[in-house]
Amino acid sequence: MERPFFSCKSKGRLTVATTNTERLNRFYEQFAGSDNVLIVINADPDAIASAMAVKRLLWRRVASITISNINVITRPDNMAMVRLLNVPLMHISKVDTGQYKKFIIIDSQPGHSELFPAIDYTAIIDHHPDEHISAPYSDVRPEYGATASMMTEYLRAAKIKPSAKLATGLFYAIKTDTADFERKAVSEDMRAFQFLFKHANIHLARKIEQVDFRLDFLNDFKKAINEYVLKKNKIFVYLGPVKNPDICVLLADFFMRFNLVSWSVVSGICDGKLVIVVRNDGSGRNAGLLISNEFGKFGSAGGHRSMARAESSLDLLQPHIDFKNEGKILKWLIKKFEKPSARGGKPKKTGITSGS
Ligand SMILES: [Mn+2]
């Protein structure tokens, strides 16, 4: 997918790849000192850090810069990033776009979400596949692993030494979007990463990276640790009502970190459904197959060999389980996973595939 540095012929002319300085200058040309600028993002680490970089680039060049997120940030690591790096964010619902003159969309393109305000964007900077939306300034480089790498190039072209917080954000963004360089990345991502490493606070980056939990999850952890059932290397947990089914995923992953645990099955009730999350080490039966055979009739159920998930409607389960008795629910669940072998047949595709 790498673009050629020189695209030899474009309408008969030789086009030379744009340099970072040219990009920076063309970007700067879009803005005037009296502009109030709104940056909109679908907040994730790459979008947050890239928006911080845009804000830094435009600092003292425009009248004001606001960063607005269209999504609600719930992932604990993202929350930690915003807090530890002091990122001022304003949710889009609180923004009056009439107050702004110029709009920038970063790490996304306008068509990616209907939550993006339908406005004319002054600048689009992104690394997702190019949707060719015209804007006075557009820089879309799909071969890049992270928008943060592109923004690092802008900062370097502008001869701006990033603050430790900005560098940490960009550093963490590249780590996340390239999954520590295990996913798509180009040598430019690597170069940006090397540069940022010199300026980032590695301890801060590690703290952000480590954050998986919110304090209110502790009650669910307490219940899981007190009441888990271990049977033949399989851990079973029933949490009862949970605020967010993500806790089942976190706990299922958590229990897989114990030696002698080859399967973990964590369940809880949310939005009228019994959510069951399964993890295993690849030994024994295929989790996706098992869960689709056993729970497919109650709702969506499926996944892979070692990651699966079912969301069973409580109405359909009611005749089979006594929901007033937690012990009985757990027993019923355990039985489903104890049957000697899968009854064969292809797993039914029922919407859920990743199990997470
Ligand atoms: Mn990205």
For residue 90, report the distance from its CA to the centre of ligand 1, in Å. 20
For residue 168, report the distance from its CA to the centre of ligand 1, in Å. 16
In 3D, which of 263, 275, 246 has the Cα closest to residue 307? Answer: 263
For residues 170 and 298, give the distance between their C-alpha atoms in angstroms, rounded to a whole number: 44
For residue 47, report the distance from its CA to the centre of ligand 1, in Å. 6
Which tokens is 150 given?
Answer: 């592109």
For residue 340, report the distance from its CA to the centre of ligand 1, in Å. 45
Q: Please, are residues 236 and 276 in contact by the beta-carbon 8 Å criterion? A: no
Q: Please, are residues 103 and 135 in contact by the beta-carbon 8 Å criterion? A: no
pLDDT of residue 345 exceeding 70: no
Residues 6+ apart with CB under 8 A from 132: none
Residue whose structure tokens are 């008795």: 325
Instruction: Give the range among 41-45, 47-51, 211-215, 226-230 with minimum mean pLDDT.
Output: 211-215
Q: What is the pLDDT of residues 57-93, one digit of tens each?
A: 999 999 999 999 999 998 899 999 999 999 999 999 9
For residue 30, report the distance from its CA to the centre of ligand 1, in Å. 23
Q: What is the pLDDT of residue 4?
A: 42
Q: What is the pLDDT of residue 341?
A: 52
For residue 48, report the distance from its CA to the centre of ligand 1, in Å. 10
Q: What is the pLDDT of residue 6?
A: 44
For residue 174, report the distance from its CA to the centre of ligand 1, in Å. 8
For residue 302, report the distance from its CA to the centre of ligand 1, in Å. 28
For residue 186, report the distance from its CA to the centre of ligand 1, in Å. 14
Q: How confident is the model over 219-238, as a mean pLDDT?
A: 96
H or E stretch including 301? strand 299-303
For residue 122, report the distance from its CA to the centre of ligand 1, in Å. 19
pTM (2 d.p.): 0.77
For residues 203 and 217, give the distance between their C-alpha atoms in angstroms, rounded to a whole number: 24
Q: What is the pLDDT of residues 150-209, one digit of tens each?
A: 999 999 999 999 999 999 999 999 999 999 998 889 999 999 999 999 999 999 999 999
Averaged pLDDT score across all residues of the chain: 91
Q: Nearest 5 degrees, angle CA 121-CA 124-CA 129?
A: 130
For residues 106 and 93, give the distance between their C-alpha atoms in angstroms, rounded to a whole number: 18
For residue 176, report the distance from its CA to the centre of ligand 1, in Å. 9
For residue 13, report the distance from its CA to the centre of ligand 1, in Å. 32
For residue 183, report the distance from its CA to the centre of ligand 1, in Å. 12
Please give the torsion angle defined by the CA atoms of residues 317, 318, 323 and 327, in that order, rounded to the nearest 10 degrees. -60
Residues 6+ apart with CB under 8 A from 58: 31, 37, 65
pLDDT of residue 140 exceeding 70: yes
Structural domains of the chain ordered from first start: 6-210 (3.90.1640.10), 218-338 (3.10.310.30)
**Ligand 1 (ion): which residues have CB within 5 A?**
46, 107, 147, 177
Counting residues of the chain whose pLDDT is more than 70, the rounded percentage is 90
At position 240, the amino acid (one-letter code) is G
Q: What is the pLDDT of residues 293-336, one digit of tens each?
A: 999 999 999 999 999 999 999 999 988 888 888 999 999 999 99
Name the phi and psi angles at 238, rounded to 5.
Answer: -125, 120
